[in-house]
Structure 1
């Protein structure tokens, strides 16, 4: 699943032994992980969604310290307690985030983030904890002795974390972190979809290193999944007319083949052998049920050849 490789010279030769992988994501991943970034944004209404997620056919949930200001983790923790503890066949992944007030992302902040996450979830250990959106610090600062990555490594050595990962959007930044060889897992989002291949290099680098790959947001933040409450945006950004034309051609192809666009978008990620699990965010019980239908749907193998015939997608609006 994840191989042991030494760190690059970025953190200095004297740190290489410290960065040596001490853990693995040693669980059998399901093809789909439920993303919970939207959980907790509806005060008083999302407790039922948290329970539904942990009782669904999908045994993996992905959250983060900063999702809904901590409400995502809190609601999952509440549901876990109602179940009498996290069932043995269920796992929850989370991420460490910068200080929500100051933006600081120091080693001390990573320690606090982890304790906040485990406290809300009511779990002593997590199978995966990730450095999340480290935009307020440089890679060198993140990798420095006593920095956030050093803290993650030590938590892994202590057995509090099974594996450590990098989860961010900006492609070049993620590539730089992957090249440090410090991580077991990489999560990319809104950058490897049925209309976007911009994360190809990230996936290549991760595969070369034997890393586990999480591919999140296969619907491009909504535009590929039917009604898009954000308008005609892709990955939270305004796309070019050429990109929108390609999306329209994709939708027309789906109509021709009798395939729901969301089904095709999901299966595009599921059929990629280098991707170990696809993270799909759900913000309601209805969306959770729809996800089950998309997973179970069968897409004609010849559809994919027709999709390739559409040509290389135009540059996406993301970086």
Structure 2
């Protein structure tokens, strides 16, 4: 495993870390603590020391599994969780300091921990990033020892740029992959300048960039890759990175030609992300230990050549950029 600094937190974390949206099973399936324990322990055994979760993953069950892992291991494991998505309706007005404080305390109870290494606002509405009183509450929580650092998870580049104007925002979690390249422009430059850690989520575009899907692939009724392609449940950019499924398949076919020696495209897609210095870590998910093994193969891949980097950019520019780039 290789490690990088997580911005001004000072944490040294694994380049490939773990996101736990589906760690208890496949998307939409009932949460399996046995499955979660296997994946989480395999991750730590492989040198992963940064785990990202959220209070809404498995309705708190993911946090419980992560807390159980941390309490059972001797290694230093950094825990990041998120809050805000439990609000119904999920509106700017619903975001109130006392409500967010209660969410933090709920997460501490779920995980059986005394402090959270990193708490992140969980993709709040854009207007929340213009409310200083929300960010000030996390300074108080830090003074009380309930959190160590504040971060944000965002949908849009503009939200990330606004968030890092607040000095207590130490990290930004954002979608970045071969199909979502806009963050590599101004946002990465500003994150580096302000020493803000960048946590990359959805690095494989909901599995599209594994190269394992086809026009005949099907997804269960409870899987967001089935019901959220047009944003019926949440921002459609979280599903296949907002890319039309058939368009994504065609782009993947071209990417296969860019990396012809590798049957599994996922490690190449992850290795591509790690060529960007602003990236602190990637948090691909895993619904079984084999997925974790696949993700970790990226560590053995050579850096893409200049020709390969140019080819990935060409595929993006020709097939993906126009419908995706300007939305997020």
Which TM-score band (shorter chain)? 0.7 to 0.9
Match of 1:218 in 2: 203
Match of 1:204 in 2: 189
Q: 1:159-238 counterparts in 2 under 5 A?
A: 159-189=145-175, 192-200=176-184, 201-228=186-213, 229=219, 230=225, 235-236=238-239, 237-238=242-243
Tell me, what secondary structure is at the counterpart of 2:101?
Answer: helix
Change (3 A) 1:195 1:99: closer
Alpha-carbon shift at residue 287 of structure 1 (Å)? 0.7
* Partner Cα distance (1:133, 1:33) in 2: 20
Change (3 A) 1:78 1:199: same
Taking structure 2 as the reference length, the TM-score comes to 0.77
In structure 2, runs of 5+ residues without a counterpart are 214-218, 220-224, 230-236
Check conservation: 1:185, 1:211, Cα contact below 8 A. Answer: yes
Change (3 A) 1:238 1:50: same
Tell me, what secondary structure is at the counterpart of 1:179?
Answer: coil
* Residue 251 (structure 2) pairs with residue 254 (structure 1): no
CA shift digits 1:140-181 (9 cap, x unpaired): 33x22xx3x222122223333222111121232222222344
CA shift digits 1:252-297 (9 cap, x unpaired): 2222x44632121100111211111112111211111222223223
* Partner Cα distance (1:2, 1:263) in 2: 22
Change (3 A) 1:55 1:303: same
Check conservation: 2:6, 2:280, Cα contact below 8 A. Answer: no
Could you say which structure has the higher helix fraction? 2
Alpha-carbon shift at residue 241 of structure 1 (Å)? 6.6
CA shift digits 1:43-63 (9 cap, x unpaired): 335343333334432121111
* Partner Cα distance (1:299, 1:139) in 2: 36
Change (3 A) 1:52 1:250: same
Q: 1:39-188 counterparts in 2 under 5 A?
A: 39-40=23-24, 41-44=29-32, 45-46=34-35, 47-81=37-71, 83=72, 86-103=73-90, 104-135=94-125, 138-141=128-131, 143-144=132-133, 147=134, 149-188=135-174
Structure 1 counterpart of 2:16, from 32, 35, 42: 32
* Partner Cα distance (1:50, 1:106) in 2: 33
* Partner Cα distance (1:133, 1:72) in 2: 18
CA shift digits 1:85-112 (9 cap, x unpaired): x424322111222434454321112111
* Partner Cα distance (1:63, 1:241) in 2: 30
Alpha-carbon shift at residue 2 of structure 1 (Å)? 7.7
Check conservation: 2:123, 2:153, Cα contact below 8 A. Answer: yes
Structure 2 counterpart of 1:296, from 300, 323, 327: 300
* Partner Cα distance (2:86, 2:250) in 1: 40
RMSD: 2.9
Q: Number of matched residues?
A: 289
Alpha-carbon shift at residue 121 of structure 1 (Å)? 1.3
Check conservation: 2:267, 2:296, Cα contact below 8 A. Answer: no
In structure 1, runs of 5+ residues without a counterpart are 4-23
Change (3 A) 1:227 1:179: same
